[in-house]
Amino acid sequence: MHSYVIPPILQSLRAMDKVLGIAEQHCTDKSLDPATLLTFRLFPDMFNFTRQVQLTTDFAVRCPARLTGADLPAFPDVETTFPELRDRVQRASDFVKTFDADSFQGAEDREIVLKLRSGEMVLKGQQYASSYALPQLFFHLTTAYNILRHNGVVLGKRDYMGAT
């Protein structure tokens, strides 16, 4: 399970950090108020860019924590700037790196209980990772990327993929 979840999570967090840096530079280059991007949403009933980044990091840290039975970290949603969001991404990455392969012993069969607005959901670890946590992380990462592309930030697939 470690090799299944940790590498793509870290790759996604690297990508998010890179994309945030590019977006911040875009604002500088275009004399654009960063709040224009940070508060932008693709549609009125969708979360804005900042919240998409926060949710990406939430799923990044909660996935390995739940799979290993560790305490869920607290990441208050207080960021209002690109540097604050980049710091959040770094803190999430640092947390994810604390999990080694041994900590995932039995994770695929661990019972994961999620308390959702619609009720309680119980999944085995493998199903939780593959059908819930990782898709959620990728959805919010993709939506953040799409918000920036919609607003003219020059990004490509290599940026999204976290290529160095």
Which residue ranges form the domains of the chain, and what is each CATH number?
A: 2-160 (1.20.120.450)
Per-residue pLDDT at 49: 98
**Residue whose entry in the numeric block shows the structure tokens 């493998």:** 126
Per-residue pLDDT at 162: 80
E strand or H helix at 19: helix 2-29
Cβ(159)–Cβ(19) below 8 Å:
yes
Per-residue pLDDT at 68: 98
Per-residue pLDDT at 164: 62
**DSSP symbol at 64:** H
* Rg for the chain, CA atoms, rounded: 16
Closest CA to 64 of 14, 128, 116: 128
Per-residue pLDDT of the chain in tens (164 residues, 90 and over written 9): 999 999 999 999 999 999 999 999 999 999 999 999 999 999 999 999 999 999 999 999 999 999 999 999 999 999 999 999 999 999 999 999 999 999 999 999 999 999 989 999 999 999 999 999 999 999 999 999 999 999 999 999 998 888 76
Integer Cα distance of 125 and 142 in angstroms: 24
